Chain A
Amino acid sequence: MDSVTAPRKAGSRLNRWLLHRTAKPLLFVLWSLPVVWLFWAAWNDQLGANPAEALIRSLGDWTLRALVLVLLVTPLRVMAGWPALARLRRMLGLFVFFYASLHLLAYAWFDMGFEWREVLADLAKRPFILVGFLCWVLLLLMAGTSFNRAIRALGAARWRLLHRSVYAVACLAVLHFFWMRSGKNDFAEVGVYAVLLALLLGWRVWERWRPRGQLGR
């Protein structure tokens, strides 16, 4: 029996730590580090030969990473038994929106020079830009309804439905990345994110449909 209870104990210790008042600020600082580093590097000309490209792409990478992490919350919470993780989910979700917004801003500024007609033409010209933009719109809707009053106003059911669009964002984000890389036929990195996100979404499908014991839940 010990072999089963030992990891439980370790898990509950971590769960207790996640409830500690420093957990949230610490996670906030950790997820701010990439943007602080990118700003520092841009300011000090440390982004290589094409700083605009490096900045836009890094911000996209960090958006994807934050997205993987936020979708990892529920599986970890259920499988590892760390209910306290739920407390951190909103902040992680807002980080996805934050990095996506910076990604979009950097593109509009450094690639398009804030020329809105160019941006519109680019949206029409390049499907991968359109798909990326659509992701951002969905993230904007979710971020805009992320506070408690919005949840009450929408009602839990509608709110949950709206926030399920994060699954669409996951699929579209991978498509965005795939199309962007298709010019180079280089899909190794895209594959990593695609597999991670497929596992995370697949787990949810399995959780929903798997056969359960007689008791049900």
Chain B
Amino acid sequence: MIIRSADTGYHHPRSSEITSRSTYLGRREWLQHLALGAGGAALAGWASRDALAAVARPGKLAALVGVSSPLPGASTVEKVTAYEHASTYNNFYEFGTDKSDPVARAKSLKTSPWTVSVEGLVNKPRTYGLEELLKLAPMEERIYRLRCVEGWSMVIPWMGYSLGALIRAAQPLGSAKYVEFVTQADRDTMPGLRSSVLLWPYVEGLRLDEAMHPLTLLAFGMYGEVLPNQNGAPVRLVVPWKYGFKSGKSLVKIRFTDKEPSTAWNIAAPQEYGFFSNVNPDVAHPRWSQATERRIGEEGGLLAKRRKTLMFNGYEPQVGQLYAGMDLRKFF
């Protein structure tokens, strides 16, 4: 039986049912009072949860919320690079060597399900599902400078936590001296693997003390959202004081070893890319100077002057002591 109702939403049998203009405006005023007053104080955190992050969300991918990192040096106040640039100008050779290749081709990367296996010289080897990894430690927002070995730089708000949290959970043995990072190499979804530019899978490595440094970030997101595929989804490394290629993307394996890992670029051109690859304006690449860099999206556009590159990319106060007494020309 169909019950017919006159209430279609268009008929107002009694004018008293229409909210008066003053009441309508009054409600808004009440909400404003709420926001400003005591009630608002409690709700403000909810209302402005996006504003907690220093950077507006681009609104492209799922949100990933984190608190601003309390770590010294972890939140530069420099102008953040536009998301549009950070997500379209990428080096991710698994998808091609041109900077526009990753954004055009990385859609094929399958990021779910995803596991990261922690193995080698540890007490607790384990394979983590991505969901477990996301919950391992509180998510922080960190605004880091990124300096590419090619001579350009960006400022990127990452979401993640110190890799140290994962390392402590794995409990490295006393014999563990290095950490090797193995990244995804799937011929079906990564067209760049057909090229022999580098040895696949792309492998990177850090000394254990570098990996344990609190600034070394295991990143899951950027700009308040999960990582876009072209930026190394779903989980990557970010080592802000080293050239960008040290920060492996789309990690699948973290292995603890007693020997210095052979890393992708070091194998490809050992005289050009050392194991350490710390940002250093005084040690030139064999084929170009590293004294200056072009900041992407710099005020002034084409006519903007190149910036002076900073020692350890400006993180010398935090990481300088890791290399005390080392000849950085020899260990480049």
Contact = CB atoms under 8 A, between A and B. Distances in A.
B184 to A, nearest CB: 20
B268 A185 contact: yes
Given A184-B197, A186-B197, A42 B289 contact: no
Looking at chain A's contact residues, is the secondary structure mostly helix, strand, loop, or mixed? helix
A177 B21 CA distance: 71
Nearest to A129: B288
B294 A52 contact: yes
Interface string B47-89: 0000000000000000000000000000000000000110011
A45 interface: yes
A53 B100 CA distance: 13
Contacts of A49: 84-85, 88-89, 99, 296-297
Interface residues of B, number: 27
Looking at chain B's contact residues, is the secondary structure mostly helix, strand, loop, or mixed? loop
Interface in A62-90: none
Interface stretch (A8-16, A94-102, A119-127, A162-170): A119-127
B317 interface: no
Which of B97, B268, B272 gathers most chain A CB within 10 Å? Answer: B97
B97 A184 contact: yes
Interface string A45-59: 101111111010000
7 contacts: A49-B89, A49-B297, A50-B152, A122-B288, A125-B287, A183-B287, A186-B197
Interface of B: 84-85, 88-89, 97, 99-100, 150, 152, 195-198, 268, 272, 284, 287-289, 294, 296-297, 301-303, 305-306
Interface of A: 42, 45, 47-53, 55, 110-111, 113, 121-122, 125-126, 128, 183-186
